[in-house]
Structure 1
Amino acid sequence: MASIFSKIVEGTIPCHKIHENDKFLAFLDIMPLKEGHTLVIPKSEVDYIFDIEDTMLGEMMVFAKEVAAKLKATFPCNRIGVSVIGLEVPHAHIHLIPINAIDDMNFSRPKLELTQEKLAEIADRVKGN
């Protein structure tokens, strides 16, 4: 059965795209810790990030670096935090989160509740950078 992220790649489930190429997709997390919280995924369905072939994993990190630069240009922050947990969706993904303190990446904190309109506005701002 295809993961929710594979359905996003196929276009059967909508997302707020930030960046895309032929191998990877970056889109806003709909349950973000901070505004700009973005997920980077391979378009091919791989459950565990360390099962991704080495060359492709390197390419994914370079792609994530490009996305991080867009986020940093959009959101005033000290860093773009990077997290790989991989338990919530069986499709490898990297969380990129604008942070000012380590607690900004505490996944046990309540998530923001942003409207679709607000997510679209954030996506447009990030894509503009």
Structure 2
Amino acid sequence: MISKELNDYLNERITIDIFKNGIRGEVSDYESLLKKKGATINLYYDDLEKVYLENSTVVKLLEETISGNLTNIELAYICDCLTLAENIEFQNEQVQDIIFKVADPEINGGFKTEKELKSLLANFYA
């Protein structure tokens, strides 16, 4: 995943379809490796452009997944990459916590169900 493309998608400069097309191969590899016990999962993330994650961008990712525009696997891959990013800033601890809760489904108890995603989303409106 390229940080510029993630920023472009989050800031609505490219469509979700263009963004998803750019990470399709990486997500496919990620999904295959998640099925293998003990496999090392490579994450491909170009961290050259700073990513600023705020409440609205995390809400967007969760809503896109709930609506079916992003798959749980795509969301987990994006969040996994973001946990490794060095050139990233989180608006607050709540945003960072959600990214880490969704990342690495093998460690964090599997992909989030629609109910779990809605619960995470409700935290932003509480």
Q: Same fold (TM over 0.5)?
A: no
| Structure with greater proportional strand content | 1
Which of 1 and 2 has higher RCO (CA within 8 Å, sep 6+)?
A: 1
TM-score using structure 2 length: 0.30
TM-score using structure 1 length: 0.30
